[in-house]
Every structure is written in C-alpha cells, then in structure tokens.
Amino acid sequence: MVETSESLLETLLAPGRTVLCDGAMGTMLYARGVFINRCYDELNLSQPDLIRSIHEEYLHAGAEMIETNTFGANAIRLARYGLADKVSAINHAGVALARKAAQHSEEKTATHAYVAGAIGPLGARLAPAGTITAQQAHDAFAEQIAALAAAGADLLIAETFPSVAEAEIVVRAARDIAPHLPLFVMVTVDDNGNTLDGTTAEETATRLTIAGADVVGCNCSSGPHAVLDVIERMRAVTHLPLAAMPNAGLPRAVDGRNIYLTSPEYMASFARKFAKAGATFIGGCCGTTPNHIKAMRSALRAIDAQVTAKAEVTDETQAAVQPPAFGERSKLAGLLANRQFVSMVEIVPPLGVNCQKELDGAKKLADLGVHVINVPDSPRASARMSAQSLCVQIQHKIGIETLIHVTCRDRNLLALQSDMLGASSIGLKNVLCLTGDPPKLGNYPDATAVFDVDAIGLVNVLRNLNHGLDLGKNPIGESAAFAIGVAANPGVPDVDNEVHRFALKVEAGAEYAITQPVFDMRLLETFLRRVEQFRIPVIAGIWPLTSLRNAEFMKNDLRVAVPDEIMFRMHKAGEVSADHARAEGIKIAQEMLAHTRPQVEGVQVSAPFGKYTAAAQVLELLN
C-alpha cells in the first residue's frame, strides 16, 4: 500500500518536531576532486560508491532526510552532456543509492531516514524571455518526476528555483504525475528577499500555496541571514510547513578556489533561529558539509528535547513531579538564589585510599568560612579515589557541603543514571556536568572511553531525574533535587563554539556555571557579554600559580589563556626564589578575584598540588 502525501506529512510533522535534512552534494563531490565540468548527476551511474558514501556521511552526521543526487537530472540539463536519453536511468540510480544508504543507516541506528527526490530548475529561461515553452518545461519535469516516483522516492523536493513561474510548473507536473508524494518547493532569493524574477517572499509563498505545494521555503541564496528573513515573511502569509536550507554564506576566493567559510557553529545558531521562526524542515545547500549538519543536529536536538521535556513533564507524563525550587535544593543553590557571593575551593581526590590530607584541608577551609568544597572526577583522566567517596566523607566528617564533578567519559548512560540516583540518596545535591578528558591524556592511555553523551546530554539526564523521571521517562518517585552546574571556558580559541555550547547547556537545564581559571579579564568580560541573553549565575575559576613552569603548563597543556604579562611576572619572581614565585601567584590570583567579583556570582579557588594554604590566602580578600 502506497503511503499518501497526507499520512507521510503527518508523520514528519509531529508536534514540536523539526526534521534535519542533509547538506550539499556538489560541494562534497568537488572536495573529492570531481571537476566542475562533469555532469554530477551521471556519477550515479559511473561512481555509485562515491555518491552512496556521501549520503552515508550525512546520515551519520544526523540527517533524517537525504536528497537524491538528481538536482540536474532533467532532459534539458542532461542534453548539455549528451545524456538526455539517460533521465530514467540516472534518477532511478539516484533513488536506489540514497535508499541503500538510508537502509544501512537504519540497520545501525534503528532510526528511519527519508529519501527525497531532488528536482532542480531547468537551467534555461522560459519563454518569452527564453526559448523553453511552458509545455516543454512541464514535460521535462514530468519525465524526471515519473522516474523518481517509480524508483521509490518518499517525497519530492524542488529547490533553488529562481522564478515562481517555473516553480508553479513543477508543482503542476508533480500533481499530474505523482499526487501521492509530498512536494516541497523552495526558491532562491536575492538580498532583498525577492526571487530572481522580482517576486516578493510573501507573493511567492501565496502563489505556491495556491498552486498545491505541501511545503514551501527558501534555499541556497546568499546565506542564512537572507533565508531567515524569507522564512519569517512566508510564515505570515501561509499555513503550510516551511523549509529552510541556506548556503554556508557566500564563497570566497582562496588560492584560486571558491571556498565557503561559514562555520558549522554559525550555521547551527541559525538552525535554532529557523526553528523558532517556524521552519520544520531545516538543512543546508552549497558549502554545507556533514560537519555543518552535525552541528545543526546538536542545536535542533536541544530545542526538540526542551519541547519534548516540557510536554512530557506538564502534559503527557502524569507521574512527573515538580522539583523543589532551585534555592531549596542545597546550600550552594540557596546562596546563588539569594544573590550571596559564593566561595568554593577545589580539592582533588587522592591517588590512594587515604584521604586524611584532603579532610584536613577541608576542615581548615570550613573554619575559614568557605561555603563549598568542589571535588573533581578523576581530572586529567587519572585514576584516583572516586569523587563520590571523597564528597561523602567531607560532608559527613567535616560538615561542609560539596559539589561533585561528574564526567561522561567513564560511564554509560545506565551507570550515569545509577550513580546520580545514588548520589542524590546520600545527600550529594550539587553536580557539575562535564564531558571529561579523553583517557589518552591520563596515566592509562589505553583505557576505553564511553561518552554515550556529552555534558549537554548529562544535563538532560539530571533535569529528567529532577522531574522524577528515568531515562525512559518512567516515574522514579520523588525528585532527585539536583542543583545542576556546567563548565565554561572564556579563553578557548573558538569562543563562538563555546558560546554556542553554553547556550545549549542552558537550554538543556543548566542552572549555574563554573569557568576555567581566569587570567585575562578581557576574555571573561567578552564571554559574559556574549552569554547575557541566556545568563545563569557564573562562578569564576581562580588558580594561584606556583611557578613559571606551572604557568606554562596551564597555557600550553591545559589551553588556559594566560597573558604574556603574567608569564613575565612569574618568570621574574621565579628568578628570585621559589617562595617569591608562589607569593606572586597568590598576588595574581587575588587581583583576578578583585577584578571578577563585581561581575560574577562567586569564585572557585583551586589548591594546586594540595596547597590549601594558598587557596585560603587568596580568599582572605573576601574578608
């Protein structure tokens, strides 16, 4: 039984869902050395493995819908290469290759992928401006559509149409030949949002709706800004679902080649904007690659998860519970909720079974009025006493609250959930969600990493536990009542990606953040400005350097931004003596604390090499 246009669209248009499509085929072929004077559509016949491998890359990146390599597979375009008699063969092969890739992906992921038959414009002007009559255009489109339908395409995507008149012809041809297939129609526009024949976005959407398209939208064009403007304008005049698939910006000439420079992270930020503007089908056009689609997938998953979580918690899952107010979950949460400046010190678990030194340090810090002890989870992928064990002993024996780091490196999703349920049951309510350092950085480089999820996924897990739901959305009784924290690094080279991931963490449910050590105030200030729109309480990391070598380790091994001025200060102090270097490190840390205090909600001071006295000296500035 053939699935109707209506039933397939109902499946694709589930409430709150966005569908991620693939990116460019031509860009990928060009990158693999296929000259631009080749007929890319013919590669379905001569190089099928190449085409299928590109489909598989997009599916692996997270695409749920892939387009066949048939953009120019109509008789008028193919005639330029002497291939006008190969319309049926090329389109059948295009569908077969995409279907095989989709089936292979489904076998591995159990996630169904849809195959869209791609239809591009004729590449020749319609009469009277050109020589192609409306009937000739209709016949060319009909021939291609018949081949795509017979080969088993799930739907049709007519894209990059420069004129609405030509797009209307393809709609009529599709409705004549394959009325059972959903039809997407997308135009390309200029910087004013008009098609290349001067039709406005509003008129385009209206005419295509009347013509009988199932989905309308915009692709290609000058990049995501132009497409977003068109989507917003189309949304105002049509009830149809919308599709947005922009180029990765405009190409730039680099060493004689046209290169698209728009980053995956930038495209991902627009994927979220497209979804919020009302687009259901989101993908990429020229210049987009599997890396772009992967980044867009992460952005859209955060939106989908947020929508799904709200629906599950408030509507569908009657067993879900409301977690306690944030300020009631722990002392740390209470301080942040009441806008009291938080002080915490990091104590690293010991390499062996004896943690007396760490307990003594916690006692000294508690006596000085430190609010929270921060306990890392096998930092630098080293084998140490579990963070959970040390946290429990500090809380029970010393009486000061702890914050436990939890990494995704060492536990699969089941173990993460089990550990978190256990942590909540024994009173560990403050959690810092981290992806974790890979094992190759540690003292057991052959150890296996898990990484079922990253820090964003772990935040989602904890948010569900806070609502009394396990991984399968089954009720677990009461709320786990975690105060959910995440990390941030204002000094990374790719700050755009850091801001992007920070936004995803907040959307997933993060409630406060702790930064990497701060040595450059300009970077922190810039980062805080960048995240202002989704700001949560930020606790600044402070590290009292102990020597020039320690500063070099921070800068080169840990990739912490340490300005040359501070490197010079540590060098000069170290020339005097080791004690002078340690004193200078404490002085620098105090300066960082003084500068950051007005801008953040707290500080976390590290105790390098277990030097708790140094951490205490830094915090004297708060008294």
Tens-digit pLDDT profile for residues 556-599: 877 788 999 999 999 999 999 999 999 999 999 999 999 999 99
Q: Is 220 labeled as ligand-binding?
A: yes
Do 159 and 203 lie in one domain? The reply is yes
Distance of CA 194 to the CA centre of its chain: 31
| 218 marked ligand binding residue | no
- Percent of the chain past pLDDT 90, that is, above it, reads 68
Task: Please give the Cα distance from 4 to 183 (Å, whole number).
Answer: 12
pLDDT of residue 302: 58
Q: Are strands 242-246 and 155-161 parallel, antiparallel or unpaired?
A: unpaired
* pLDDT value, residue 105: 86
**What is the pLDDT, as a whole number, of residue 107?**
82
Q: What is the pTM of this model?
A: 0.54
355 annotated among ligand-binding-site residues: no
Query: In one letter, which amino acid is 123?
Result: G
- Residues 193, 126 share a domain: yes
Q: What is the pLDDT of residues 390-446, one digit of tens each?
A: 999 999 999 999 999 999 888 888 899 999 999 999 999 999 999 887 665 555 566
Confidence check: pLDDT of 136 > 60: yes
Range of the domain at 405: 317-337+346-351+372-487
**What is the C-alpha to C-alpha distance for residues 148 and 140, in angstroms, rounded to an integer?**
13
pLDDT of residue 386: 93
Tell whether 376 and 516 lie within a shared domain.
Answer: no
CATH number at residue 528: 3.20.20.220
| Rounded Cα distance, 336 and 557, in Å | 32
Same domain, 413 and 508: no
**What values do phi and psi take at 423, rounded to 5?**
-60, -45
Beta strands 257-260 and 251-254 are antiparallel
Could you tell me if 478 and 499 lie in one domain? no
Domain end: 469, 487, 505, which one? Answer: 487
Total domains, the chain? 3
The better pLDDT of the pair 242, 495 is held by 242
State mean pLDDT over 35-52: 94
Residues 6+ apart with CB under 8 A from 267: 224, 246, 248, 284, 288, 292, 295, 296
Helix (H) or strand (E) holding 51: helix 48-61
Q: Which band of pLDDT confidence, cut at 50, 70 and 90, is reported for residue 305? A: very low
Is 364 inside any structural domain? Answer: no
* 240-265 mean pLDDT: 71
Same-domain check for residues 574 and 562: yes
Same domain as 142, residue 43: yes
Is there a single domain that holds both residue 379 and residue 239?
A: no
Domain presence at residue 358: no
Asked whether residue 404 falls in the same domain as residue 542, the answer is: no
Q: What mean pLDDT is reported for the chain?
A: 89
One domain for residues 306 and 394: no
Average the pLDDT over each of 61-65, 163-167, 268-272, 443-447 and give the range with the smallest value: 443-447
- Is 186 a domain residue? yes
Contact present, 231 and 217 (Cβ < 8 Å):
yes
Q: Is 545 in the same domain as 622?
A: yes
pLDDT at residue number 252: 53
- CATH code of residue 231: 3.20.20.330
Does residue 572 share a domain with residue 602?
Answer: yes
